[in-house]
Amino acid sequence: MRIAVAKEIEVGERRVALIPDVVAKLVKQGLEVWVETGAGERSFFSDSAYEAAGAKIIGDPATLWGEADILLKVSPPQEREDGRSEIDFLKAGSVLISFLNPLGNPAIVEKLANRQVTALSMELIPRTTRAQSMDALSSQASLAGYKSVLIAAAALPKYFPMLTTAAGTIAPAKIFIMGAGVAGLQAIATARRLGAVVEAFDIRPAVKEEVQSLGAKFVEVQLEEETVAAGGYAKEISEASKQRTQEVVTEHVKNADVVITTAQVPGKKAPLLVTEEMVKQMKPGSVIVDLAAEQGGNCACTDPGKDIVWNGITIIGPINLPSSMPVHASQLYAKNLTSLMQLLISKEKALQVDFADDIVDAACVTYAGEIRNKRVSEELA
């Protein structure tokens, strides 16, 4: 059984799918590991470290992809600069595990099915207790939540903590976090550690206790509809609920020095939470960090991938924040992948794709030429 780690070619992607420590464990289990030359370079893991862990370093991507039984990646496969497609390198019957953005880019899924590849999408790992160690959305969202606060702190022309000094007393910064999922909760914890006063809001009432246990105030909005869909994710809410929400949060946005938005609804454009009108009411010098920038943004003024100043407010729309912390992002992602692979490799070290396993069943988007995910098929129809 040969596991291969591809070098990421997407611009700005600094993570790598496996780190040397994890390679050593796989090799000890009797698996062969190939790593593409320079795969770990941008996350500070050298070819020699992979070699010392027992991996073979492969220079030619076509060989690495084409002879892999399981190909591991972070970003979805790409078209290469030389015009060749990474997917075309894969052999029929091999397994690809990666973030695939299957709902945002169903064409990739179709291509993988046509190539007879068994593709598992890390976005589709169920958010269940058994799947926790494989949950790459969570491991990476947590990094993004942490980093968003550091970015905000660096951009804010103020201190975060309260300080009593000989030159006077400094009031603590007020941070408002919108969306208290994995990223939002980590942002609350990080902002609290920096000494800020934190408020948070989410349409899922179940997060209230988690928010409070982290030392933040929960801003409650009473909505008359169900806001939680299957799997615990938020639902898209009605226009009336959106309006009700905006009425409540406007005051909190206005009073905040920093607003961090993290709200997402799977498979949909990110909900608009901060309107232009709300930004206009904020104090000059305040900062918005929009973690949903890549999905269209929670703030009307966000320009994805850019830092802009609008009406005196700094609005930051970072893209792929986990990649800015590639050492730990790769370490956690590698653990997520190896946990998932344990379900795909039998005791005899043969490939097993068992759809009776709910995690494999949920994550596998293509198998034997078929697209297995109903929502992706609907997108393509």
Residues that bind ligand NAD (CB under 6 A): 127-129, 132, 135, 137-138, 141, 178-184, 202-204, 232-234, 237, 262-266, 271, 273
Task: Kindly state the helix (H) or strand (E) to which residue 290 belongs, with its residue range.
Answer: strand 287-290
Write down the catalytic residue from 14, 50, 94, 135: 135
- Taking the CA atoms of 331, 354, 108 and 33 in sequence, report the sign of the dihedral they define: positive
Q: 80, 88, 116, 132: which is the annotated catalytic residue? A: 132
Q: Is 85 a catalytic residue?
A: no
Q: Which is nearer to ligand NAD, 181 or 322 (CB)?
A: 181
**Smallest distance, Å, CB 229 to ligand NAD?**
9
Tell me the CA end-to-end span of the chain in Å, nearest whole number.
36
Can you tell me which residue has the tokens 């010392």? Answer: 52
For 152, residues 6+ apart whose C-beta sits below 8 A from its C-beta are 175, 258, 260, 287, 289, 316
CB of 243 to ligand NAD, least distance (A): 12
Minimum Å gap between C-beta 248 and ligand NAD is 11
The answer for residues whose C-beta is within 8 angstroms of residue 33's C-beta and 6 or more apart is 2, 3, 4, 5, 18, 23, 26, 27, 50, 53, 54, 55, 56
Cβ proximity to ligand NAD: between 204 and 208 the closer is: 204
**What minimum distance in Å lies between the beta carbon of 29 and ligand NAD?**
25
132 carries an active-site annotation: yes
Tokens 């960090």 sit on residue: 289
Q: Which of 127, 193, 204, 244 is catalytic?
A: 127
Judge whether 336 and 133 are in contact, CB under 8 Å.
yes
Sequence letter at residue 82: D
233 vs 310, beta carbon nearer ligand NAD: 233
Please identify, using beta-carbon distances, which residue of 46 and 212 lies nearer to ligand NAD. Answer: 212
Give me the catalytic one of 88, 233, 244, 361. 233
What DSSP line would sit under 13-76, residue for residue? ----S--HHHHHHHHHTT-EEEEETTTTGGGT--HHHHHHTTPEEE--HHHHHHT-SEEE-SSP
Active site annotation includes 233: yes
Q: Residue 46 or 243: which CB sits closer to ligand NAD?
A: 243
d(CA 257, CA 191): 12
Closest approach of Cβ 348 to ligand NAD, in Å?
30
Catalytic residue among 138, 264, 295, 330: 138
Hey, which residues are catalytic here?
127, 132, 135, 138, 233
